Amino acid sequence: MKLTLHVWRQAGPSARGRFVRYDVPDGSPDMSFLELLDVLNQQLIARKEEPIAFDHDCREGICGACGMVINGRPHGPQRATTACQLHLRHFADGAEIWIEPWRARAFPIVKDLVVDRAAFDRIVQAGGFITARTGSAPEANSILVPKPAADLAMDAAACIGCGACVAACPNASAMLFVAAKVSHLGLLPQGQPERDARVMQLVAQMDAEGFGACSNHGECMAACPKEISIDFIARLNRDYIRGTFL
């Protein structure tokens, strides 16, 4: 299949960026989107041109590294799918595809499609942990966890930190990410000692990083490849109000 790609090229954080057109005449419907970029990069290298920089790691929809905006949608048109798991069969032969990086002040562009998402790491470092002893694994039945709480905590823990929620939000808010990190620990007995401090610290760090405020558009949930529910944002808000009075 033939595809026309319009890829955002930017040599560095302070360089001026622009879309560059590339024609790919030999794409396969079974290729993943990242494999398409691999093929294009091989062509660019053969022509002694600078290859396109983009993030990737597991290529299995697990790590969240492959974030990019494809035709205006984070990770592309396929719901609940990361860019690395998006296949070309979801595009028509002869399609024009526009590819650009996440757009958020808190995610500065490093090069081309690569952005610096260290802000997420700093948010987690601010309080996304529990003060449990390390060493040998504790007895699984020493702390009983109700199944509904365990299931809900696992739903929140499914967040891979890709940043699609930020890229989709018109305010570039990180509330869905932070809510997932707050909730998956706050729902479990092991997370209760730091529950109030955790939400206050994570929200404070989120604000310090320059993310916008949540205004309940719901775009974050629609773009999330793991379909994290905005119900967790409501839970974060309740915990935050509780934390301000304790």
Predicted pLDDT at 141 = 80
Q: Is residue 186 part of a domain?
A: yes
Nearest of 109, 130, 111, 107 to residue 206 by alpha carbon = 107
Question: Residues 121, 210: one domain?
Answer: yes
Mean pLDDT of 191-197: 92
Chain mean position to CA 238: 24
Question: Residues 122, 237: one domain?
Answer: yes
**Number of Cβ atoms within 10 Å of the Cβ of 113:** 25
**What is the value of pTM for the model shown?**
0.94
Cβ–Cβ < 8 Å for 239, 196 = yes
Which pair of structure tokens corresponds to residue 20? Answer: 């560059």
Virtual torsion, Cα 145, 147, 150, 155, nearest 10 deg: -170
Q: Which residue has the tokens 């955790």?
A: 198
Say whether pLDDT at 25 is over 80. Answer: yes
> Which stretches within the chain are classed as H helix?
33-46, 118-125, 147-157, 164-168, 175-186, 195-208, 219-223, 231-244
Burial category of 35 from C-beta neighbours within 10 Å (exposed 0-12, middle 13-18, buried 19 and up): middle
C-alpha to C-alpha distance for 119 and 97, rounded to whole angstroms: 29
Question: Residues 167, 87: one domain?
Answer: no
Q: Does residue 90 sit in helix, strand or coil?
A: helix
Mean pLDDT of 144-159: 95
Question: Residues 71, 174: one domain?
Answer: no
Please state, rounded to an integer, the average pLDDT across all residues of the chain.
Answer: 95
**Number of Cβ atoms within 10 Å of the Cβ of 191:** 20
Predicted pLDDT at 116 = 98
Cβ–Cβ < 8 Å for 159, 123 = no
pLDDT band per the 50, 70, 90 thresholds, residue 139: confident
pLDDT band per the 50, 70, 90 thresholds, residue 136: confident
Question: Residues 141, 218: one domain?
Answer: yes
Domain coverage including residue 149:
117-244
Domain total in the chain? 2
